[in-house]
């Protein structure tokens, strides 16, 4: 898989040139779009117009697209086989130069596409034919679809690592029972493993979201031209196959409307949305660990390597990694919002606004990968504080619902049973005696169905073992889920 994080390709030409032309191998200038203009763009036009500062990371995909374009042009006889070979060798050399950090990017050439075409044209005369039947509009759409496919593969790997780390921690905490919370109030006991496995379910759903984005990206827009295709005898199937835009049977997948193909940004939005979903899940997980590591909860200890101290208070150990994950996830929802807003009022087809589509998706990718990898690396260093968990879960009120179930099993209607246990809880508060320690003569006055065996409802182990249906926190169910996640 191609690495798509920026490789630090930040060499820029010093003074931007201000013509919109490409210099040919023989030193002559050839207008790109500058043919009809009498003067070059203003300095500020160059500044607002350049995208190479952020789209240079598309270079490997742009080159891949151009390799396929050259192959297709030769296949249909628009260029010769020698011209194809010269173009492809030239592109290989440029990619090597870019990866070595030796390529000079010129903002006056606007974007990654023009920079690469210029560099190629200087070396290879036949490069002047490469853009035949192609526009930057279908070129950028193609580059981004290739990028999305690769980005989805990387995020899927990172998600799988987080899932594996959570399953490992769940495995270690099957026997650590903590209070589960609703409204951030103690509710019912659960194994810490069950709580952690809730996040595994979320991240597994996120993997399906990412897979759906990849599938949506897997359609080739090349050949759509600027808006209305071309009159030249191109072979769209050929180029789609070359680029791997194929279904499971190897059948090429092509966009079916040239106007949609150059202006559609749905995949950008779906990608940003999937990243936002991952971010929300990571943020909630972080919030749980931040709470759990506080002195008030004390359920877990976080690894030193992912926490920081205070410059003033020597005792502090702050959960910065999880706080930053929570903070960065806000960027992911922001990026999605930006894309939705950018696209909503645009008339068909391509509008230059669409150049702004890339910073948010690149940022969503970078931040999502970073926070996933950070969480996956931090989790193995997290340990449960067994004593503090046992102390918290010893609160008998956590099993009040089990007393209700005890009464229901004695044929008391649920509503009545709930009311009876409510009265027991009130009594326990009034007498300041733990629920399970209330004197039986007081308890028996509240309802005749309460026998001396009512205290058995407070047996934590039995209470959990009874929760043995699919999805419940009983030990067998939790163990089965751990085994399940180890095998997918």
* CA atoms of 98 and 22, how far apart (whole Å): 19
Active-site residue, selected from the candidate residues 183, 195, 273, 419 = 183
When the beta carbons of 229 and 303 are compared against ligand ARG, the nearer one is 229
User: How many other C-beta atoms lie within 10 A of the C-beta of residue 10?
Assistant: 10
| One-character DSSP codes across 300-351 | EE--GGG-B--SS-TT--B-HHHHHHHHHHHHHHHHHHHHHHHHHTPPSS--
Residues 289, 383: contact at Cβ < 8 Å?
no
Let me know if 183 is a catalytic residue.
yes
**Least distance in angstroms from the C-beta of 349 to ligand ARG:** 10
- Pair of tokens at residue 291: 């709470």
The residue (of 110 and 242) whose beta carbon lies closer to ligand ARG is: 110
Is the CB of 167 or the CB of 262 nearer to ligand ARG? 262
Taking the complex as a whole, how short is the minimal distance between the CB of residue 133 and ligand ARG, in angstroms?
16
Q: How far is the CB of 357 from ligand ARG (least distance, A)?
A: 7
310 is an active site residue? yes
| Smaller CB separation from ligand ARG, 51 or 158 | 51
**Residue 363's closest CA among 388, 386, 337?**
337
In terms of CB distance, is 66 or 333 closer to ligand ARG? 66
Least distance between ligand ARG and beta carbon 111 (Å): 4
Name the site residues for ligand ARG (rule: CB under 6 A): 51, 55, 111, 136-137, 140, 350, 352, 354-355
**Could you tell me which residues come within 8 angstroms of residue 258 by beta carbon, excluding any fewer than 6 positions away?**
138, 223, 224, 225, 227, 228, 229
Separation CA 150–CA 285 (nearest Å): 26
- Of residues 143 and 242, the one with the C-beta less far from ligand ARG: 143
By beta-carbon proximity to ligand ARG, the closer residue of 333 and 355 is 355
Q: How far is the CB of 354 from ligand ARG (least distance, A)?
A: 5
C-beta separation of 188 from 397 below 8 A = no
Provide the 8-state DSSP code for 223: T
The continuous run of DSSP H or E covering 39 comes out as none
Catalytic residue of the set 6, 294, 310, 383: 310
What's the closest the beta carbon of residue 273 comes to ligand ARG, in angstroms?
A: 21
In terms of CB distance, is 55 or 117 closer to ligand ARG? 55
Q: Are 197 and 413 in contact (CB under 8 A)?
A: no
What is the spatial distance between Cα 178 and Cα 170, in angstroms, rounded to a whole number?
13
185-200 burial: b if 16+ Cβ within 10 Å, else e = ebebbbbbbbbbbbbb
**Tokens 């930006």 map to which residue?**
338
* 220-to-37, 60, 269 alpha-carbon distances in Å: 33, 17, 18
Taking a C-beta distance cutoff of 8 angstroms, is the pair 335, 364 a contact?
Answer: yes
CA separation (Å) from 425 to 396, 420, 438, 439? 10, 9, 10, 13
How long a stretch of residues is the chain?
488
Active site residues per annotation: 183, 310
């Amino acid at each position: 898989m191609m690495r798509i994080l920026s490789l630090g390709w930040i060499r820029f030409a010093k003074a931007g040139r201000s013509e919109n032309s490409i210099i040919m191998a023989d030193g002559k200038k050839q207008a790109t779009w500058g043919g009809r203009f009498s003067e070059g763009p203003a300095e500020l036009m160059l500044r607002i117009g350049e995208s190479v500062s952020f789209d240079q990371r598309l270079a490997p995909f742009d080159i891949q697209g151009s390799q396929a374009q050259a192959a297709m042009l030769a296949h249909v006889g628009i260029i010769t086989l020698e011209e194809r070979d010269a173009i492809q060798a030239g592109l290989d050399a440029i990619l090597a130069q870019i990866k070595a950090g030796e390529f000079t990017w010129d903002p006056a050439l606007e974007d990654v596409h023009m920079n690469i075409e210029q560099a190629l044209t200087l070396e290879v005369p036949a490069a002047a034919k490469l853009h035949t039947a192609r526009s930057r509009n279908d070129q950028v759409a193609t580059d981004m679809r290739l990028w999305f496919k690769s980005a989805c593969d990387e995020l899927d790997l990172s998600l799988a690592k987080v899932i594996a780390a959570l399953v490992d921690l769940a495995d270690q905490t099957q026997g650590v029972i903590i209070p589960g919370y609703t409204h951030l109030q103690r509710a019912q006991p659960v194994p810490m493993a069950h709580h952690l496995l809730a996040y595994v379910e979320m991240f597994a759903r996120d993997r399906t979201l990412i897979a759906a984005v990849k599938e949506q990206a897997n359609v080739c827009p090349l050949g759509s031209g600027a808006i209305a295709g071309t009159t030249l005898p191109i072979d769209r199937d050929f180029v789609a196959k070359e680029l791997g835009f194929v279904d499971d049977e190897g059948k090429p997948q092509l966009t079916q409307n040239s106007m949609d193909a150059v202006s559609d940004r749905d995949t950008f939005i779906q990608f940003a949305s999937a990243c936002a979903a991952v971010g929300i899940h990571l943020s909630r997980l972080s919030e749980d660990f931040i709470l759990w590591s506080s002195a008030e909860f004390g359920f877990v200890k976080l690894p030193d390597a992912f926490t920081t101290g205070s410059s003033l208070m020597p005792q502090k150990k702050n959960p910065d990694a999880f706080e930053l994950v929570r903070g960065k996830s806000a960027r992911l929802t922001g990026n999605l919002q930006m894309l939705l807003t950018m696209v909503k009022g645009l008339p068909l087809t391509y509008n230059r606004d669409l150049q702004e589509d890339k910073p948010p998706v690149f940022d969503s990718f970078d931040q999502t990968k970073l926070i996933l990898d950070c969480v996956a690396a931090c989790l193995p260093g997290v340990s449960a504080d067994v004593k503090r968990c046992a102390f918290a879960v010893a609160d008998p009120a956590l099993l009040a619902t089990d007393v209700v179930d005890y009464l229901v099993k004695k044929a008391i209607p649920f509503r009545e049973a709930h009311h009876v246990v409510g009265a027991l809880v009130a009594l326990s508060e009034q007498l300041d005696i733990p629920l399970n320690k209330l004197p039986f003569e007081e308890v028996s006055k509240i309802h005749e169905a309460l026998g001396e065996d009512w205290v058995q409802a407070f047996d934590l182990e039995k209470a959990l073992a009874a929760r043995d249906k699919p999805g419940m926190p009983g030990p067998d169910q939790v163990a089965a889920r751990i085994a399940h996640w180890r095998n997918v």
